[in-house]
Amino acid sequence: MNPPELVADVAQELVAQGARAVVLMGSHARSDAVAESDIDIIAIGDGEPYRLERRGGHLLSISWVSDAAVRESFRTPRDAPGVVPGWRSARLLIDEVGIAAALQEQARAWSWDDIETGASDAYVAEEITGLAEEVHKLVNLRTTGNLTGAAVQRAILSFRLGAIMAIHLRLTFDTENRLWNIVDERLGGPWCSAQARAFGLGDESFDETCRAVLELYRLAADALRPLLDERQLAVVRHACDLSIQVV
């Protein structure tokens, strides 16, 4: 079954299950899907929050969400950078009473000013503070020779630091696949170099990738330092000092 036919069938099924509107998101909505791209479908209403299934030779990602929850996500620093672009490019499949159209209109008019003043800065400040624990774990695990645990902590730091910096820079992204590239493009220089080494994109040793992700933490901490209160600053400063021990 080709994607358009599959999407149409699924949309009708979701309406029969009580969906008030159905929209297509992601790469198939943007027309940049590749062979194994999943098909992202959002149903507005009450249903199973999220499920994956294979049908017609394709991977389906089906989510149920209320329109109130979507509007709330537009006001949340953690969610808005990815959710808003998704709604901007969404294809409205079924929308008899205009619920999805209203959400898309709100997304297209959205700006960072729609998030409560100071909320984005408060969010990234607490996030970089929380990641200090992962720095401690990485240093301890690497020092004691637990390479598996250290690899996990390295991955956690690599993943989350990019998302934190995207919010700090007030960036949006229509696919998480490009989030780290977008941050790279904005920051360049030392950040770009450290991130590539942290992800092991060259011929780096394991120790070099660990040192690189700790360098990323210090770069992020330096950028966010003006946003930190005394409690947060004490935690982050010690984590930065600790991270230098593995250099």
Q: pLDDT at residue 65 above 80?
A: yes
Q: pLDDT at residue 44 above 90?
A: yes
Domain locations in the chain?
Answer: 3-114, 119-246
- Span 3-114: which CATH code? 3.30.460.10
pLDDT digits (tens, 9 = 90+) for 107-156: 999 999 999 999 999 999 999 999 999 999 999 999 999 999 999 999 99
- Residues 6 or more apart in contact with residue 203 via CB below 8 angstroms: none
In which band, very low, low, confident or very high, does the pLDDT at 33 lie, cut at 50, 70 and 90?
confident
Scored b (16 or more CB within 10 A) or e, 70-103 reads beebbeebbebbbbbbbbbbbbbbbbeeebbeeb
pLDDT digits (tens, 9 = 90+) for 180-222: 999 999 999 999 999 999 999 999 999 999 999 999 999 999 9
Predicted local confidence at residue 246, as pLDDT: 63
